[in-house]
Amino acid sequence: MFEYANRVGFIRSERSTPWRPGRAQGPTDATFNATLTFATAQGTLFPFLTASANLPVGRSTLFGREKNAIMDGDLVGHTRLGEGLNTQIGGGVTWHADDRWSLTTAATYKFSGPYVPDGNFPFRFQSGDEIVASTDLAYEADTGRASIGFRFGSQTSSLIEGFEYFRPGDGWTVFGTAARAFGEGQQVEAQWSVTRQRRNHFFDPFTGNFEREEARSAGDILQLSLNWSQARSWGRWGLAGSVLRRTANDYDPKSDLFIPARTRWMVGPHLTLANDSGATLTARAQAMHLNEDRVFLTGQTRRFIGAQFTLSANLEF
């Protein structure tokens, strides 16, 4: 079986805080994903190969206050308009022990290309290559499903003009899902994950060396989400909520941002329209409450309230 998908988008991002205003807009990079799955004669093993590419059609270079409009992944689903040419290859296998239990093991390798993120300081930045390995155990019941998995990731050093700049520590994530159908077309689904990372490596301008930090600075990330939905003749509607906790300040080299320790709550309705051809249109609206821990620059905790609206379309051929 061969599956193929591509995605393009348009972003208008604006930050209106008095100390860091900025606005940027434009098309995003185009992403292409393909999966080829094979079936063995016994029908219990399903090897698969994956390949994807990020084509740099979006604006990877921003100028002046445009750079202030870039936000971190805790707040928005897509952080940059463009980030150069990236390709990824991988593979794995799914083993069906019976009609209930299955085990999937997979690995991918991502090759990151260079680009210039800052037009005022036009240095070529190249994010580190990344290898990810994962395993996932799943159970399917008549009225529900559940899974638990483990993922390990490691990156090479990010480069500025070919010099080592930053390398995040190896990290692991434990994750799980559980869903149950009940009533007439109703479903409840929960998802959770815990992520932890080892000590980072960084370039020390005082010593001129690329070295590992003395103490682990990266925060743990805990996430929990709950979704209820009701099926209708035209699609589904429902209510979703989530909580994210980042336990320490983190650094994102791709966007040159320090992400503070924080707790984020989100809740809101969602609506999906579907037709017989497989096309869907999904709209989401969520209220957000954000508590940021005290940092050196602010000297105090900060609280924000906001909203997030998303609209996405999916076409199947």
Which pLDDT band, with edges at 50, 70 and 90, does 113 fall under?
very high
Cα separation of 255 and 82, whole Å? 11
Is residue 108 located within the same domain as residue 201? no
Mode of pairing for the β-strands spanning 130-140 and 280-292: unpaired
* Residue 297 confidence (pLDDT) above 70: no
Instruction: Say yes or no: 64 and 116 in one domain.
Output: yes
* CB-based burial label for 214 (10 Å; 0-12, 13-18, 19+): exposed
Last residue of a domain, one of 84, 110, 126: 126
Triad 130, 256, 53: Cα angle to 5°: 35
> Are residue 115 and residue 173 in the same domain, yes or no?
no
Q: Which of 77, 103, 126 is the last residue of a domain?
A: 126
Q: What is the pLDDT of residues 182-192, one digit of tens each?
A: 988 999 999 99
- Whether 33 maps to a domain, the answer reads yes
Q: What is the mean pLDDT of the chain?
A: 91
Instruction: Give the Å distances, CA to CA, from 103 to 88, 145, 192, 290.
Output: 23, 14, 19, 37
Domain that holds residue 202: 160-317
229 and 305, same domain (yes or no): yes
Q: Write down the pLDDT at residue 298.
A: 63
Phi/psi-derived region of residue 253, left when phi > 0, alpha when psi is between -120 and 50, beta in every other case: alpha
Q: Are residues 184 and 257 in the same domain?
A: yes
Tokens 């003749």 correspond to what residue? 233
Digit-coded pLDDT (tens) for 128-160: 999 999 999 999 999 999 999 999 999 999 999
pLDDT value for 278: 79
Point out the domain boundary residue: 73, 108, 126: 126
Q: Can you tell me the distance from the alpha carbon of 291 to that of 284, in angstroms, rounded to the nearest whole number?
A: 22
Q: Are residues 98 and 171 in the same domain?
A: no
What tens digit of pLDDT does each residue of 230-247 get? 999 999 999 999 999 999
Mean pLDDT calculated for residue range 3-13 = 86
- Residue 178 pLDDT greater than 80, yes or no: yes
Into how many domains does the chain fold?
Answer: 2
Residue labelled with tokens 């079936």 = 39
For residue 147, tell me if it sits in a domain: no
Residue percentage of the chain with pLDDT more than 70? 98
pTM score of the predicted model:
0.87
